[in-house]
Structure 1
């Protein structure tokens, strides 16, 4: 059966070659003129398919022919099929696609598995592990990395999951990982949180960075030189800069809330959010000494704290599983 005049549009180059010997038709009606040889070399599935006796218009009314070529309908849409075929073609004819959307990567990955493109699977998986995708899909990327036995990517995704709550909500790809792998991830999250708690009580990291309280007088509610700035002080005295100092109440509240939140989300975003809340509090108090200097000072302090927690987190390892050794 030949196509009518309302035939689907052809795909863009290189999938519109006049010497192609088969047409793949996407689910959304785009025809890809391709070469059987390239697809057969890349995929055992296509090799077997094209080795089968091909029916003709004379022997079957179900066969669709266009421009003398058999049309093979596939379930993938045009976008997915375009990316898949680019991986199959020689690099001199088609560059590997840039996959920058999580859903697109997953669709291509499913097609890769469907057509037994084993040599391409790891390459497609690696497309998931760029910051834009990891920032919003860390748990899903972790699950896919575990399933594909990609150790480095497991570790990278695990670090991004620290932006998620300790007990995550359900996500579709959770079915790809074992209970052991999930337990390992949750344990890693808890160990990272625990590692940061020492920073709240031992403030030597502040002394090491700022050397003298004059660099950050607002922490102890003082004015550079001498005197109290007027901000309420907490009842807590901190051992900082070699002496015991009562801290500003707003700063003590910042430390309490930040480290409480870090137990659930031990990441830079937690610190940044709490820094901005502290700045808002100081501005509302309108202390003539603190209000002008705290915004810049606290943002700098937040960077110092962030660098310190990232240093500690880098020392926490993702435990290996007994069965796979992947993580």
Structure 2
């Protein structure tokens, strides 16, 4: 009895279904006004300021035209109109809320406290304002805030959606890789977030294809024999087989009994069968999250330690440090393989 949820989404715009008014030109919000408004803290309550920016929630920011002209080509153009013109008045009513303009102005002003990192809920209106008023500095600041690891860990999909709409390829690629953690590939799809309603279907499709390619690269690395490959070296008398150090520490001893069978997949390596089991489990984990960190966790390597303790010789010869070292090398190989996969990025905004 499963039914498809159907919603008429309408035409795509960069400000769809968001509390930013559809009219994005600041010119239409300019007018002389003497109405009451909410005061603000310094330095935006300067009585000598020659411009008031009045937000949609009724907050007045008293600023200087000179600063706004330097920060925004849009504001510079406003102030080129003849004195007395509607577009050269002392009050500019804008569509954004006060918390958005508080962040913008604290970035622009040479005095006062620097703005703290914006709340993720403000990324969208800040990026839209940066686009509307052509403020490259605000755009870059929001981009860097979105790429902080703590933000990517919890809001990767939101970051990816906004990066695709506002042309931020670095943020899109970082978010695409981070999106594997909060949304395992075989788990329940994430709830729809508002920002997804502005993301083009093709952007989401590219994210899905990128994840699939990363899974293919990670599992191909796991299934490859390169990790267990030996080298033939001349020792001055004859050719001898040389194994990497992380392999020799795990090789099967002649004293190991029937309870510790040799590797089935890598018979010439001298490894034990529980290494095969570890690789098989890791492949399943990599299909959920194609990242090296999933193969080096305590849960991942714990069964190897338990299996090694079953064999008396293994329990004496193999220490946990050898197993951890092997898992870390394995994880590095996987991450290197996944890093070779690139996300196709296109600007999907209008």
TM-score by length of 2: 0.65
Task: List aligned pairs for 1:240-319, cutoff 5 A.
Answer: 243=268, 245=270, 247-249=272-274, 251-273=275-297, 275-279=298-302, 282-283=305-306, 287=310, 289-290=314-315, 294-319=319-344
Higher strand share: 1
Distance 1:111 1:267, change over 3 A: same
Cross-structure match for 2:206: 184
Shift of 1:31: 5.2
Distance 1:131 1:2, change over 3 A: closer
Classify the secondary structure of the residue corresponding to 2:180: helix
TM-score by length of 1: 0.69
Cross-structure match for 1:119: 136
**Bigger mean CA deviation after superposition, 139-148 or 129-138:** 129-138
Matched, 1:239 2:251: no
Determine the C-alpha separation between the residues in 1 that align with 2:77 and 2:293: 49
Determine the C-alpha separation between the residues in 2 that align with 1:282 and 1:26: 62
Gaps of 5+ in 1: 56-68
Distance 1:227 1:213, change over 3 A: farther
Gaps of 5+ in 2: 1-33, 231-242
Q: Is the 8 A contact 1:125 1:145 kept in 2?
A: no
Classify the secondary structure of the residue corresponding to 2:344: coil
Determine the C-alpha separation between the residues in 1 that align with 2:219 and 2:142: 35
Determine the C-alpha separation between the residues in 2 that align with 1:285 and 1:145: 48
Q: Is the 8 A contact 1:210 1:216 kept in 2?
A: no
Q: Is the 8 A contact 1:279 1:294 kept in 2?
A: no
Determine the C-alpha separation between the residues in 2 that align with 1:51 and 1:96: 34
Shift of 1:309: 1.2
Q: Deviations over 1:154-188 (max 9, x none)?
A: 33332223333337423332223322222222112
Shift of 1:262: 0.7
Q: Is the 8 A contact 1:165 1:265 kept in 2?
A: yes
Q: Is the 8 A contact 2:250 2:271 kept in 1?
A: no
Alignment counterpart, residue 11 of structure 1, candidates 41, 56, 66: 41
Task: List aligned pairs for 1:1-327, cutoff 5 A.
Answer: 10-12=40-42, 14-24=43-53, 32-39=61-68, 42=72, 44=74, 48=78, 52=86, 75-78=96-99, 80-89=100-109, 92-93=110-111, 97-99=115-117, 101-113=119-131, 115-120=132-137, 122-127=139-144, 128-163=146-181, 164-166=183-185, 168-169=189-190, 170-207=192-229, 210-211=244-245, 213-217=247-251, 222=252, 226-228=254-256, 232-233=260-261, 237-239=264-266, 243=268, 245=270, 247-249=272-274, 251-273=275-297, 275-279=298-302, 282-283=305-306, 287=310, 289-290=314-315, 294-319=319-344
Determine the C-alpha separation between the residues in 2 that align with 1:124 and 1:74: 21
Cα RMSD, aligned residues only? 4.1
Number of equivalent positions: 292
Classify the secondary structure of the residue corresponding to 1:33: strand
